[in-house]
Structure 1
Amino acid sequence: MNQIDRLLTIMQRLRDPENGCPWDKEQTFATIAPYTLEETYEVLDAIAR
């Protein structure tokens, strides 16, 4: 299994309707966008150092 397949499997498990993570199952593009932006700024800061 390559790394992308592994990532997709993990994501599928997290969002599984019956056994998935409650937090992950509730997320939408709108709710995750602020976290994505924050992480982007952290990566840019790390690169600048």
Structure 2
Amino acid sequence: MAPPPYIESDPRYDIFHDGHYQYAFNQSRPLMRYVYQIDRDLIWEDLVKKLTQA
């Protein structure tokens, strides 16, 4: 688990020359789970099943 990144200030004005925003981290923020791998086929199958049962 890790603290979530956030954009340090208004992104409309802080775009770097390479087109990326400046992200910052604050250790006091709530932690988030980081996903390294996901079975997208299983997720889509579950989604379609739930939508068709509605």
TM-score (norm 2): 0.28
Q: Which has the larger radius of gyration?
A: 2
**Greater helix share, structure number:** 1
**Greater share of residues in strand:** 2
When normalised by structure 1's length, the TM-score is 0.30
